[in-house]
Amino acid sequence: MEKALTLYELNCMVAETIDATLARSYWVEAELSEVRENRGHCYMELIEKDGNGNVPVARASAKCWRNVWSVIMPYFVRITGQQVHSGMKLMLQVHAQFHPQYGFSWIVDDINPEFTMGDMMRKRQEIVRRLKEEGVFDLQKELRLPMFASRIAVISSETAAGYGDFCNQLETNEYGFKFHIELFQTVMQGGQVEPGIISALDRINGREEEFDAVVIIRGGGATADLSGFDTLELAENVANFPLPVITGIGHERDESVLDMVAFLRVKTPTAAASFLIDQLAATLARVENAQRTLAEGVRRKLETEKMRLRHFGSHIPVLFSLVRTKQEARLDALFHRLAERMGESLHRSAFHLDALMQQALPPLHLRLSEASHRLEMLDQRVRLLDPSLLLKRGYSITLHNGRAVRSAGELKVGDVITTRFAEGEIESKVDSLR
Encoded amino acid at 275, one letter = F
219 neighbors 163 (Cβ within 8 angstroms): yes
The CATH T-level fold of domain 134-281 is: Rossmann fold (3.40.50)
C-alpha dist (Å) from residue 193 to 104, 123, 185, 198, 414: 36, 17, 11, 9, 146
Which pLDDT belongs to residue 222?
Answer: 47
CA 162 to chain centre: 32
Confidence of residue 108 (pLDDT cuts 50, 70, 90): very high
276-325 pLDDT tens trace: 999 999 999 999 999 998 988 888 988 888 888 887 777 777 777 777 88
pLDDT of 214 strictly over 60: yes
The radius of gyration of the chain from alpha carbons, rounded to an integer in Å, stands at 64
3-state secondary structure 126-144: HHHHHHHHHCCCCCHHHCC
What percentage of the chain reaches a pLDDT higher than 70?
95
Question: Does the pLDDT value for residue 143 go beyond 90?
Answer: yes
pLDDT band at 251 (very low <50, low <70, confident <90, very high): low
| Mean pLDDT of the region 125-145 | 91
* Per-residue model confidence (pLDDT) at position 1: 66
The three state secondary structure string of the chain is: CCCCCCHHHHHHHHHHHHHHHCCCCEEEEEEEEEEEEECCEEEEEEEEECCCCCCEEEEEEEEECHHHHHHHHHHHHHHHCCCCCCCCEEEEEEEEEEECCCEEEEEEEEECHHHHHHHHHHHHHHHHHHHHHHCCCCCHHHCCCCCCCCEEEEEECCCCHHHHHHHHHHHCCCCCCCCEEEEEECCCCHHHHHHHHHHHHHHHHCCHHHCCEEEEECCCCCCCCCHHHCCHHHHHHHHCCCCCEEEECCCCCCCCHHHHHCCEECCCHHHHHHHHHHHHHHHHHHHHHHHHHHHHHHHHHHHHHHHHHHHHHHHHHHHHHHHHHHHHHHHHHHHHHHHHHHHHHHHHHHHHHHHHHHHHHHHHHHHHHHHHHHHHHHHHHHHHCCHHHHHHCCCCEEEECCEECCCHHHCCCCCEEEEECCCCEEEEECCCCC
Q: What is the mean pLDDT of the chain?
A: 86
More confident residue, 223 or 64: 64
Q: What is the mean pLDDT of residues 331-351?
A: 85
165: left (phi over 0), alpha (psi -120 to 50) or beta: alpha
pLDDT for the residue 364: 80
Which are the contacts of 121, defined by CB distance < 8 A and separation ≥ 6? 254
For the segment 331-339, the average pLDDT, to the nearest whole number, is 86
Rounded Cα gap, residues 120 and 112, in angstroms: 13
Angle (CA) 241 246 248, round 5°: 135
Would you say 193 and 199 are in contact if contact means Cβ atoms under 8 Å apart? Answer: no
Domain range annotation of the chain: 5-121, 134-281, 387-428
pLDDT of residue 144: 94
Residue 433 has pLDDT above 80, yes or no: no
- With CA atoms as reference, report the closest residue to 85 among 194, 196, 202: 194
> Residue 346's pLDDT band (boundaries 50, 70, 90)?
confident
CATH of domain 5-121: 2.40.50.140
Lowest mean pLDDT segment, chosen from 31-40, 90-99, 235-244, 423-432: 423-432
Contact at 8 Å (CB) between 18 and 107?
no
Query: CA 271, 272, 276, 279 torsion: positive or negative?
Result: positive
Q: What is the mean pLDDT of residues 162-189?
A: 92
**Sheet bearing 151-156, strands edge to edge:** 180-185, 151-156, 213-217, 245-248, 264-265
pLDDT for position 53: 61
d(CA 202, CA 224): 26
pLDDT for the residue numbered 43: 94
